[in-house]
């Protein structure tokens, strides 16, 4: 794990304003090796990481009065060299090289003496993945081994660009049927099960540190990167240290406090899997129950996301298994059948479909049960997959003790990061956050006198 921007005073000692930044390098690299500096042309830059995207991407907007595009004759085989941080020479400088894949709209300005346009960039591995198909058989291998093989053997990713490939459990026989490398990794991720946690919640993504293949529950266990606080604007800034200023949330918005209709239809709280084995002429029913899963899994916060309310059918949300039903072909316990056991070498290994389908269906949704965005002063050290603590003050009128909101404060997982630099002196970071739980559970209800019954009798 990289050293945090907020771990010491070295990064903030030279900062005079919370949104200061240092753009050390912004160079355009042509296919022929020509290097052109773009810092003087820059209007704005955006750098983006996403937990549910394969690679890092971004864009730079330039104002050009020198015919830069015409002179260099862009063909899509060029690169952008970027290095930025909070202070020059800081310990968390973001230093990378990207492939330019598109030029945006060109708009004239300055009485036709100049024009503005946007260059879009991404990690080169995305373009390589689009140019390649894999037909590969893996026999008796762990899925994390297959993922690393695709990265190193096919995409030729250097070891220093692979950050974390977490070990998975179980060995499998898989034939990758002419898939693009990132498509193959995404497909394998669905089957992968963490070694120390229940379910199947692996994700493949890239941060500034490199490529990652990690379980969501493992990320939940990471230490808290920072405590962010939203507070009144008229607080005397002279009383705040620079460390406190960079931890102050500029603004926030909730994307989804909850959406129960979506949680029901997507199988977040309960779902059912019917796995059919044509070879043994049998089927198996597997039910996912949120309450049972929560009791044995890792969560960001101790509280549940629901209470014990029973509908008029007498069932809670986590007991309504037919909310989402999936029917699949399975192969569990085939080797226990006598006539199959005789030819065991010809039987495929158990793919644990009863584990990964119902659990992954719910886990990805649960990890995004509550989502929000916060804007903070630019922080080059934050990356997707990190855990942060968001402190939101309660809006109760009697809040003399500065209590926190009981449901929406707490730990969140960073699911997306956008660094935005605007010339001459503005740098902010927008974090997309998500959580699967709350600091406290909602209050239980009296199911002996349900609300719907009282309404009908009124």
Averaged pLDDT, 132-145: 94
∠ CA(54), CA(60), CA(64), 5° rounding?
A: 150
% of the chain surpassing 90 pLDDT: 60
Mean pLDDT for 155-180 is: 94
pLDDT (0 to 100) of residue 10 = 47
Contact 388, 301 (CB under 8 A): no
172 CB contacts (<8 Å, ≥6 apart)?
A: 138, 140, 141, 142, 143, 191, 349, 351
- What does the pLDDT read at residue 76? 84
**pLDDT tens digits for range 272-330:** 999 998 878 889 999 999 999 999 999 999 999 888 889 888 999 999 999 999 999 88
Instruction: Over range 343-369, report the average pLDDT.
Output: 84
- Residue 445: per-residue pLDDT: 83
Domains of the chain plus CATH, in order, are 1-123+370-384+417-435 (2.40.10.10), 132-217 (3.55.50.10), 260-366 (no CATH)
What is the structure's pLDDT at 150?
A: 97
Looking at per-residue pLDDT, the higher value among 396 and 5 belongs to 396
Beta strands in 190-262 (DSSP E): 193-194, 202-207, 210-215, 224-230, 251-256
What pLDDT, on the 0 to 100 scale, is given for residue 430? Answer: 96
Q: How many residues belong to the chain?
A: 458
Q: Residues near 385 by Cβ (< 8 Å), separated by ≥ 6?
A: 51, 205, 207, 212, 214, 219, 222, 413, 414
Of 84-93, 149-158, 220-229, 347-356, least confident by mean pLDDT is 84-93
Q: Does the structure show a pLDDT above 90 at 73?
A: no
In sequence order, what DSSP letters do the residues of 54-112 get, joined into one string?
SS-EEEEEEEESS-HHHHHT--S-EEEEEEEESSTT-TT-EEEEEEEEEE---EEETTT
| Residue 293 and residue 199 in contact, taking contact as beta carbons nearer than 8 Å | yes
The pLDDT value given to residue 359: 94
């Amino acid at each position: 794990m990289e050293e945090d921007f907020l771990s010491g005073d070295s990064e903030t000692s030279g900062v005079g304003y919370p949104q200061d930044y240092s753009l050390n390098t912004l160079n355009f690299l042509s296919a022929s090796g020509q290097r052109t500096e773009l810092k003087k042309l820059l209007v704005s830059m955006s750098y983006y990481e996403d937990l549910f995207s394969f690679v890092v991407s971004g864009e730079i907007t330039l104002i050009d009065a020198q015919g830069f595009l015409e002179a260099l004759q862009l063909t899509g085989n060029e690169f952008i060299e970027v290095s930025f941080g909070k202070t020059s020479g800081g310990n968390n400088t973001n230093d990378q090289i990207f492939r330019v894949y598109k030029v945006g709209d060109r708009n004239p300005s300055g009485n036709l003496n100049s024009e503005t346009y946007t260059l879009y960039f991404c990690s080169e591995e995305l373009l390589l993945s689009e140019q390649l198909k894999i037909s590969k058989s893996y026999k008796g291998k762990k899925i994390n081994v297959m993922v690393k093989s695709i990265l190193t053997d096919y995409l030729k990713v250097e070891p220093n660009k692979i950050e974390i490939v977490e070990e998975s459990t179980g060995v499998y026989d898989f034939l990758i049927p002419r898939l693009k490398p990132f498509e193959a990794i995404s497909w394998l991720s669905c089957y992968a099960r963490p070694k120390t946690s229940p379910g199947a919640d692996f994700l493949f993504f890239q941060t500034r540190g490199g490529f990652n293949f990690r379980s969501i529950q493992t990320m939940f266990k990471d230490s808290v990167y920072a405590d962010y606080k939203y507070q009144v604007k008229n607080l005397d800034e002279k009383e705040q240290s620079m460390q406190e200023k960079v931890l102050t949330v500029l603004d926030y918005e909730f994307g989804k406090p909850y959406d129960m209709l979506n949680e029901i239809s997507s199988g977040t709280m309960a779902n059912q899997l019917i796995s059919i084995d044509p070879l043994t002429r049998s089927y198996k029913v597997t039910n996912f129950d949120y309450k049972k899963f929560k009791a044995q899994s890792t969560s960001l916060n101790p509280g549940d996301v629901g209470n014990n309310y029973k509908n008029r059918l007498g069932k809670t949300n986590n007991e309504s298994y037919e909310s989402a039903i999936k029917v699949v072909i399975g192969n569990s316990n085939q080797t226990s059948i006598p006539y199959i056991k005789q030819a065991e070498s010809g039987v495929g290994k158990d793919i644990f479909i009863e584990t990964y389908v119902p659990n992954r269906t719910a886990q990805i949704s649960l990890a995004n049960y509550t989502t929000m965005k916060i804007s903070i002063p630019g922080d080059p050290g934050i990356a997707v997959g990190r855990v942060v603590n968001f402190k939101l003050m309660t809006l109760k009128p009697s809040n003399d003790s500065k209590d926190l909101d009981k449901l929406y404060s707490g730990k969140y997982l960073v699911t997306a990061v956008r660094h935005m630099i605007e010339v001459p002196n503005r740098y902010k970071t927008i974090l997309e956050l998500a959580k699967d739980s709350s600091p406290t559970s909602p209050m239980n209800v009296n199911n002996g006198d349900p609300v719907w019954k009282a309404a009908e009798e009124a």
